[in-house]
Amino acid sequence: MLDIYKIGDEVLTEKCSDITEFDEAVRMLSDAMLDTLEEADGVGLAGPQVGVSKKIFVVHIRGEKPIVFINPSIIATSIETGVYEEGCLSIPGVYHDVVRPLRVTIQAQDVNGKAFTIEADGLLARVIQHENDHLYGKLYIDHLDEKERDKVIRAYEKKNRIRRRQKARV
């Protein structure tokens, strides 16, 4: 289980670099990320969230096969957009509506370096865009206007303070 970095940590704001070697280390990292995602009960996890500033993210939607995306690139997005309430393992406990394109086409490499293309819609399209943003130092709250963004951060900080106080008592 890897540590999940939270908002406020520098690594979440950095642009990631490409993965150039498809070796045992990459396989171990992707396995550890999938385990961490499962443990955290999330649907997506990106490199920076586990302190690795590399272009990798994993997606695991319930009932579907997990997918590892390495050096991904979103090559097409639909003009049609939709609203969905997003959360993030790096901003736990808070959620907010985010507008994004409904469909995307993404090219990436798997753990062996083999290229693949996925045309996604629904939840998969949503998660792909959220995770891909992480590789560019962007969080879902960066899609909100300043007022809404501040609201989410304040709600998160409030929850965090309460959690810390409860911990201190026991």
Applying CB under 5 A, which residues contact Ni ion?
88
**Shortest distance, position 82 Cβ to Ni ion, whole Å:** 18
Give the residue with the Cβ less far from Ni ion, 8 or 23.
8
119 is catalytic: no
**Shortest distance, position 44 Cβ to Ni ion, whole Å:** 7
H, E, C per residue of the chain: CCCCCCCCCHHHHCECECCCCCCHHHHHHHHHHHHHHHHHCCCEEEHHHHCCCECEEEECCCCCCCEEEEEEEEEEECCCEEEEEECCCCCCCCCEEEEEECCEEEEEECCCCCEEEEEECHHHHHHHHHHHHHCECCCHHHHCCHHHHHHHHHHHHHHHHHHHHHHHHC
Give the residue with the Cβ less far from Ni ion, 113 or 148.
148
**Which one of 21, 38, 80, 131 is the catalytic residue?**
131
Give the residue with the Cβ less far from Ni ion, 113 or 151.
151
**Shortest distance, position 118 Cβ to Ni ion, whole Å:** 19
Taking CB atoms, the residue at the shortest distance from Ni ion is: 88
